[in-house]
Amino acid sequence: MLNFFDLPTPTWQPWMGYFLMLIGSSIAGFINTIAGNGSAITLPLLVWLGLPTNVANGTNRVAVLAQIAVSLGVYKQAKQLQLQYMGWLIVPSIIGGATGAILAVQLNELWLNLFLGVIMLIMLKLTASDTKKWLTPNTQITQAAAQLKDPKTILLFAIIGIYGGFIQVGVGIFILAALVLQAHFDLRTANGLKILLAFLFTAPALVVFMWHQQIYWPFAIVSTIGQSTGAYIASKWATKTEGAIWYMHRFLLFVISIGAIQFFLKFYQLWPK
């Protein structure tokens, strides 16, 4: 377990690492709330600042959980959080999150990055090819909610929960795709439900990482401040801006593309030379 002052950072001054963490996590909090994949910023940054990958993975969950809590509050205040439809997904999400976190303590970076890169390409195709489902507001919320009781949907979210507990990166994108393409929610409604689901599997995952002492608390606290700020700004924008669905869809495409490039580059860097 790392102590407060024993972190090996490559920065010029110790305070610079915390400043970079604050800026990066603020951006990540905004991205996570609007689309997902904000952890594609914070995880590499934590590793660059000197944390082992497994500790970075655990440290990242503290800020993610705080950011989710802030977003939930804003969406609930704006009455855009459809909590009454989520009962069927609570248990699989919690179990999946805990299971994924247990698997994460033995992380194989090489093949995980290849897997994530391929998944991002698949998600890019799905997101770009069926724009009608992504952009059309859905007034039949009750019909969409009925899809959440489908066994295939429940299994799908259990798998997403395992993945989210395992690595977190890009999980918001997978949740949005499942809610829009499988359950047929519109993107604005799906984004609010995504935040709740992310909370359900992030909370048990965080407990697992805490149990294994894979959290570096100084960076966790700074990142929490940054991500919470970014999440608050993004939630206000998403709930009040006219035409936000169009911007969210375009931003989602951009984030997925960047994520795919990043994971393939990381796979190349880790490949034995």
pTM beyond 0.85: the answer is no
Amino acid at residue number 181: L
User: Given a cut of 60, is residue 37 above it in pLDDT?
Assistant: yes
pLDDT tens across 90-135, in order? 788 888 888 888 887 666 667 777 877 787 787 777 777 766 655 5
Instruction: Quote the pLDDT of residue 12.
Output: 41
Q: Which of 129, 217, 228 is nearest to 181 (CA)?
A: 129
Residue 217 pLDDT grade (very low, low, confident, very high; cuts 50, 70, 90)? very high
Q: Which of 185, 228, 236 is nearest to 64 (CA)?
A: 228
Please work out, in degrees rounded to the nearest 5, the angle formed at the alpha carbon of residue 47 by the alpha carbons of 44 and 49: 110
pLDDT tens across 245-263, in order? 677 677 767 777 887 887 7
Instruction: Quote the pLDDT of residue 243.
Output: 65
CA distance 211 to 126: 37
Task: Answer with the residue of higher pLDDT: 176 or 147.
Answer: 176
Please work out, in degrees rounded to the nearest 5, the angle formed at the alpha carbon of residue 19 by the alpha carbons of 267 and 200: 60
